Amino acid sequence: MKIGWQFGVIRNSAAGPADRLWVVKIGGSLLARSDWPADLAALIAALPRPLLLVVGGGAIVDGLRTLDAACPQPPERMHTLAIDAMRLTARLVADAVRFPLVADPPTSDAAVVLDVAAWLDAHPRLRESLPVGWHVTSDSIAAVIAAALGGDLMLAKSVAPPCGDGDLATLAAAGWVDPHFPIAARAVDAIAWAVPALSLRPH
């Protein structure tokens, strides 16, 4: 079945250049959908360029959470492993959508998947700006990347935000974004969301 996407706005920005970078955070939960490569292809086709995909860790990071809960590890170790895990899901997505996996953002009208671990290694001050702990997820990482690159941010998730007023603290309290996201996204001019259209239908 062909899947469409529903889009919405959380934060508007002042008019900017037409070629402004979009950082698109691909929620790891989307990779649990049976036809996720086709879903992502449809999403990407609807978005402008340049485009930088940041892929969440999904079930791989959930597994790390489970291991940490069973036998707690040093927070810094789990923080690093979770970021490393994002490289695995990024490789999956890059191969599926046939985009290059890069350590640097596009410098032209391009569409790429970011190797987040490599990018953060190259920008230690930004890595150090991220608090260590499970309250910081790929949502906040994508926001930090968008702010650093002067880009706009789109959050592609499995479910739509629970409120439409654009209040980031409310979205964090509802668990739609992580608790650190309101701080990480302070300098992001525009924030939008996208969900598979079928996710909006009542079950």
Residue 202 has pLDDT above 50, yes or no: no
Contact assessment for residue 154 and residue 168, using Cβ atoms and an 8 Å cutoff: no
Q: What angle do CA 83, 87, 93 make, to 5 degrees?
A: 130
Residue 16 has pLDDT above 60, yes or no: no
Query: Could you give the CA distance from residue 164 to residue 192 in angstroms, rounded to a whole number?
Result: 11
Q: Give the model's confidence band at 155: pLDDT under 50 very low, under 70 low, under 90 confident, else very high.
A: very high
Residue 49 has pLDDT above 90, yes or no: no
Superfamily for 5-10+19-200? Acetylglutamate kinase-like (3.40.1160.10)
Residue 42 has pLDDT above 90, yes or no: yes
Q: pLDDT digit string (tens) for 122-139?
A: 999 999 999 999 999 999
Residue type present at position 140: S
Predicted local confidence at residue 1, as pLDDT: 46
Predicted local confidence at residue 67, as pLDDT: 97
Predicted local confidence at residue 203, as pLDDT: 36
Rounded mean pLDDT, 44-48: 93
Rounded mean pLDDT, 13-34: 84
Q: What is the CA radius of gyration of the chain?
A: 16
Q: Where are the domains of the chain?
A: 5-10+19-200
Q: In angstroms, what CA-CA distances link 67 with 29, 72, 169?
A: 19, 7, 29
Higher pLDDT among residues 17 and 23, named by residue: 23
List of residues 6+ apart from 83 with CB closer than 8 A: 116, 117, 120, 141
Rounded mean pLDDT, 89-98: 96
- For the entire predicted model, the pTM comes to 0.92
Rounded mean pLDDT, 99-114: 88
Distance of CA 133 to the CA centre of its chain: 17
